[in-house]
A and B are shown apart, each in its own frame.
Chain A
Amino acid sequence: MQRLALAAADIQDFGAVSARTVVAGVEVVCDPLGALFLPETRLLVVSDLHLEKGAAFARRGMMLPPYDTLATLKVLEAVIARHDPAIVVSLGDNFHDRVGSAHLPDVFRARIAAMARGRDWIWINGNHDPDGTVDLPGQSADELHYAGLAFRHEPSLLSPAGEIAGHLHPAATVVRREKAVRRACFATDGNRLLMPAFGLMSGGLDLRHKAMAGLFDRQSLVAHMLGRDRIYSVRFANLLG
């Protein structure tokens, strides 16, 4: 919704307000474009790109616009240009379905190759695309342990400490003066962090949803919500005003 405007607009590199926080002792920066940057290691995380979502629906008879991949890649290019990371981790559900990367049109393939040039690129496998990618730079893995953090697609119930995960597309709803505003968000209690979906045609799941239950210590849970050019950080307990 809100995020899609990004693809159409020229993304400014100044004026954006990120939020810094700490996950398991590691300093991280929540970028309003929906990516997480680790300044120490110059590692950039994006999650749930869901590339070729339109095509995946078309395969099932719903002719959604074929422009989602391009839109998502444009924003990805902007956030990579902003942080110039040494490593890019794409945290799973990189493609909307299993055959997505194999059927990816060449023009998009070339754009990804250009982005990956001069850096390491790691595709974490997700539930939508468990078989890895076809003909793309970088390497595929189920998990990555690096810089004191664990990067995986689905949050695990066993080992929350230092986990960066995606999968759930967290979103938070703020209610003020009887009005509700809902945005995708980074969700962290300082121990684990859930990434917002980066794919521009992805929906969100509210932090209050039962699928989120037990993942966080709600006392210290903060939603870093994606605004137009800044992050709005709201404590879980304060979301409903």
Chain B
Amino acid sequence: MGVKRTDSATGPALLPAPFSGWFAEKGWEPRAHQMELLARASAGESLLLIAPTGAGKTLAGFLPALTDLAGRGRIPPGSAFTGIHTLYVSPLKALAVDIERNLMKPVSEMDLPITVETRTGDTPQAKRQRQRLNPPDILLTTPEQVALLIANGEAQRFFKDLRYVIFDELHSLVTSKRGHLLSLGLARLRRLAPDLRTIGLSATVAEPMDLRRWLVEQRPGEENHAGLVTAPGGAKPIITILKSEERVPWSGHSAKYAMPEVYEAIKAHRTALLFVNTRSQAEILFQELWNINEDTLPIALHHGSLDVAQRRRVEAAMAESRLRAVVATSTLDLGIDWGDVDLVIHVGAPKGASRLAQRIGRANHRMDEPSRAILVPANRFEVMECQAALDANYVGAQDTPPVGEGALDVLAQHVLGMACAAPFDEDALFAEITSASPYTGLPREKFRRIVEFVATGGYALKTYERYARIRRTPEGLWRVSNPQVAQQYRLNLGTIVEMPMLNVRMVKRGARGAIGRGGASLGKVEEYFLEMLSPGDTFLFSGKVLRFEGIRENECLVSQAFSLDPKVPAYAGGKFPLSTYLAEGVRAMLDDPARWSALPDQVRDWLALQRDVSTLPKRDELLIETFPRGSRHYMVAYPFEGRLAHQTLGMLLTRRLERAGRRPLGFVATDYSLAVWALDDLGHAFTVERPSLADLFDEDMLGDDLEAWLDESFMLKRTFRNCAVIAGLIEQRHPGKEKTGRQVTVSADLIYDVLRSHEPDHILLEATRNDAAAGLLDIQRLGDMLARIRGHISHRRLDRISPLAVPIMLEIGREPVAGEAQDVLLAEAADDLIAEAMGADRT
């Protein structure tokens, strides 16, 4: 558990005998924060421990429970039922499994009379049943399992002896809807076991007070928060940027060019973790590494779409130090203790300071030695972004998102769960729910609407009373209408809404019928991606180039391909645009050639060329370039505000240009710039001010235009779909029949449109708008940017593409099409038909 002898004095050893002996045997000494936490928790305090990776955080968290249980002794057989003593909640199944492994070591070495078990989605039904009858002392589990356990009729009995609840990686749990659901679960646990105390384990966060409040009961008019224990920070990490001899590409995110050098770095270290931002990047890099893996080093791949068994194998091999490198996405972000990792390679620009710090913390789990990390920029803009990050001492910064107000869809799910546990009194449940810190501000009236939503959908048109899922008993308690409701609740519980996915199964080439059955399952891929494929197309998945054979029922059939030029899976990870917080740094660097000396030659030459043929954007201005290319006219803007903001801006600019009659055809956005293309000569149009650039970029576009667009946008529909599934309006799974994700998508869009046109103030639309407000943070940035550049727009009319515009021009054609542009594509397809002079006459 990463505890190691330190030279500093650590205070008096307050440890009970078996523990002090055990520490001594290991040559370890308990650290100050471990002892402080033990003393205060044993005295009855709830606590938040903030400690860097490698500080022995997990052992610290368990010490109070372990010493308490050790003091209790073995329970004689035949005693009355004893519920669980300690609940440990982790955001990741893998983490729970990992902790069990680590916790069993001291327990068995000290021969402590303590039983420890895990319970996750993967736990077999029989074991779960047995756990309910004969619970372990310490249960290691996930937020979803907590929700399931408290919605059970026997929750009271199961949790009555609960003393400690330990939340690991609390900083990452609380900011999501899972955290909201968990906070409600904790409120219920406090009611079942009023004496319980909580221990939160967290990395450094921007607002520790948010977490401290989260951990304890909130009452109106009181300011309650858990105590704080802080461990001293570790050594500063050593971070470098990969200086490649190869040509750094103009655009893209794969960083293929750097793989030979990355491979050398892997060879020079014991074990390396390669973090990438998306699953498709992970696939590509893994393949590239194996292409050059002449020493056949054991290099593995780990991401969320892979088969569970395969992931577990990788984790186990990692724990046993049998691997030299793992290519991973955020599935490995959190605090799994890998021990031997001595290098973290981060591919792509650091898109968030806290995340980068977490990932770098994976290297060298010993806090007194510095972690080593190499940043590998995937393109030329990222070179600058990485450099700006290092210059700004970026890694020390904290940008964790705020805890946020409790989501309403989560609340709806919880209310149904509580009805499944036992009939509830509306006022009593309201008091319980508002004791959870994310929900303290919940108005009573809104809670009433949520209860109504759970019962009959909460529509103004009351036609569903006779189908209600929960009803009032004569005593005024809400109870479920029938047992099937509880069954449906259990099947659909959780806040993680899966993208529609299909299982990928290997078959023989050309096999589509019965012969195809029985091949290995490789994992899951998103259904919408497959819709774009025709049989025979190839794509990269699970580290292999696969040939798409077809879709059968809920499976995607593939065969081994020999193609060298595969299409690449487009995962959700790739579609969620990452926002950069380094815009200011990059702008400053562009504007200051003196700082270019830190950049590689080729990037410097690129910038110099841009200065010669066009201009470089000044720090406080917006550069717009216009140029013709092929039969089209392009406008490229360089706001450096992140892709989300640029996408919104692109949509709004396109609408404006359309209204001005400039016939825009499309746009594309990256983290750094934005390109719009049109049939009209945009350069000429701006010169004669039809429209003027000042008008085009006027802030008022964030008014009505934005509102209109948002309502139609994909983002809101996707958000609604998540809310509808979490709130239980749409089931992901129905007893007896699996609904595929695709079907959920379709009906969610339909329901969204129905509600919008018929009941715009429905509670679920309110929940959707609240959620979307998070996405609107980027609109705030956009507003700030538009205000800043007013009067500072610099227009360059060029006769051809500029060096700075090359990266974004290479992105054209990779973006999904949205809204009105759909009809343009349809018209294009229909025109093909007309050109063939066949088919329908048109009236």
Query: CA A1 – CA B488 in complex, angstroms?
Result: 27
Contact across chains for A64 and B729 when beta carbons are under 8 A apart: yes
Cβ of A222 to closest chain B Cβ, rounded Å: 5
Cβ of B528 to closest chain A Cβ, rounded Å: 8
Cβ of B818 to closest chain A Cβ, rounded Å: 10
Contact across chains for B730 and A62 when beta carbons are under 8 A apart: yes
Contact across chains for B842 and A19 when beta carbons are under 8 A apart: yes
- Of residues 722 to 748 in B, which have CB atoms within 8 Å of A's CB atoms? 729-731, 734, 743, 746-747
Q: Is A193 part of the binding interface, using a Cβ–Cβ cutoff of 8 Å?
A: no
- Known pairs A55-B464, A179-B825; A67 contacts B754 (CB<8 A): yes
- Known pairs A1-B750, A173-B531; A227 contacts B826 (CB<8 A): yes
Within the complex, which residue of A1, A68, A206, A232 is in contact with B749, where a contact is CB–CB below 8 Å?
A1
Within the complex, which residue of A4, A176, A235 is in contact with B757, where a contact is CB–CB below 8 Å?
A4
Q: Is B518 part of the binding interface, using a Cβ–Cβ cutoff of 8 Å?
A: no
Contact across chains for A234 and B832 when beta carbons are under 8 A apart: yes
Contact across chains for B827 and A17 when beta carbons are under 8 A apart: no
Within the complex, which residue of B731, B734, B816 is in contact with A179, where a contact is CB–CB below 8 Å?
B816
Contact across chains for B747 and A20 when beta carbons are under 8 A apart: no
Q: Which residues of B contact A201 (CB under 8 A)?
A: 747, 750-751, 754
Q: Which residue of B lies closest to A16 (CB)?
A: B843
Q: Which residues of B contact A182 (CB under 8 A)?
A: 531
Contact across chains for A181 and B822 when beta carbons are under 8 A apart: yes
Within the complex, which residue of A177, A203, A232 is in contact with B746, where a contact is CB–CB below 8 Å?
A203
Q: Which residue of B lies closest to A177 (CB)?
A: B813
Cβ of B695 to closest chain A Cβ, rounded Å: 28
Q: Is A78 part of the binding interface, using a Cβ–Cβ cutoff of 8 Å?
A: no
Q: Which residues of B contact A212 (CB under 8 A)?
A: none
Q: Which residue of B lies closest to A241 (CB)?
A: B829
Q: Which residues of B contact A174 (CB under 8 A)?
A: 825-826, 829
Contact across chains for B825 and A20 when beta carbons are under 8 A apart: no
Query: CA A240 – CA B841 in complex, angstroms?
Result: 22
Q: Is B457 part of the binding interface, using a Cβ–Cβ cutoff of 8 Å?
A: yes
Q: Is B575 part of the binding interface, using a Cβ–Cβ cutoff of 8 Å?
A: no
Contact across chains for A61 and B828 when beta carbons are under 8 A apart: no
Q: Which residues of A contact B817 (CB under 8 A)?
A: 179, 181
Contact across chains for B841 and A67 when beta carbons are under 8 A apart: no
Contact across chains for A222 and B840 when beta carbons are under 8 A apart: yes
Q: Is B759 part of the binding interface, using a Cβ–Cβ cutoff of 8 Å?
A: yes
- Known pairs A55-B464, A178-B813; A62 contacts B729 (CB<8 A): yes
Query: CA A179 – CA B463 in complex, angstroms?
Result: 41
Q: Which residues of B contact A147 (CB under 8 A)?
A: none
On chain A, the number of residues with a Cβ less than 8 Å from chain B's Cβ atoms is: 57
Query: CA A225 – CA B531 in complex, angstroms?
Result: 18
Contact across chains for B469 and A61 when beta carbons are under 8 A apart: yes
Contact across chains for B731 and A62 when beta carbons are under 8 A apart: yes
Within the complex, which residue of B531, B749, B826 is in contact with A183, where a contact is CB–CB below 8 Å?
B826
Q: Is B333 part of the binding interface, using a Cβ–Cβ cutoff of 8 Å?
A: no
Contact across chains for A67 and B746 when beta carbons are under 8 A apart: no
Interface string of A1-21 (1 = CB under 8 A from B): 100110110000000011111
Q: Is A144 part of the binding interface, using a Cβ–Cβ cutoff of 8 Å?
A: no
Q: Which residue of A lies closest to B757 (CB)?
A: A8
Q: Which residues of B contact A177 (CB under 8 A)?
A: 813, 825
Q: Is A239 part of the binding interface, using a Cβ–Cβ cutoff of 8 Å?
A: yes
Within the complex, which residue of B457, B488, B829, B839 is in contact with A239, where a contact is CB–CB below 8 Å?
B829
- Known pairs A4-B750, A4-B753; A58 contacts B457 (CB<8 A): yes
Interface string of B432-470 (1 = CB under 8 A from A): 000000000000000000000100111101011001010
Contact across chains for A234 and B829 when beta carbons are under 8 A apart: yes
Q: Which residues of B contact A204 (CB under 8 A)?
A: 746
Q: Which residues of B contact A200 (CB under 8 A)?
A: 750, 754
Cβ of B451 to closest chain A Cβ, rounded Å: 13
- Chain B residues at the A interface, C-beta cutoff of 8 Å: 453, 456-459, 461, 463-464, 467, 469, 484-485, 488, 531-532, 534, 729-731, 734, 743, 746-747, 749-751, 753-759, 762, 813-817, 822-823, 825-830, 832-833, 836, 838-843
Apart from A5-B757, A60-B734, A65-B758, what are 19 other A-B pairs with CB-CB below 8 Å? A1-B749, A1-B750, A18-B843, A19-B840, A20-B840, A29-B843, A55-B464, A61-B469, A63-B456, A63-B459, A70-B758, A178-B532, A181-B817, A222-B833, A222-B840, A224-B840, A227-B827, A234-B829, A240-B534
25 interchain pairs, CB-CB under 8 A: A1-B750, A8-B753, A55-B464, A59-B467, A60-B734, A62-B731, A63-B456, A63-B464, A63-B469, A64-B730, A64-B751, A65-B459, A65-B751, A65-B759, A174-B826, A176-B825, A176-B828, A181-B817, A201-B751, A222-B833, A222-B840, A224-B840, A232-B826, A233-B830, A234-B830
Smallest CB-CB A-B distances: 7 pairs: A63-B457, A8-B757, A4-B753, A67-B758, A179-B817, A19-B840, A232-B830
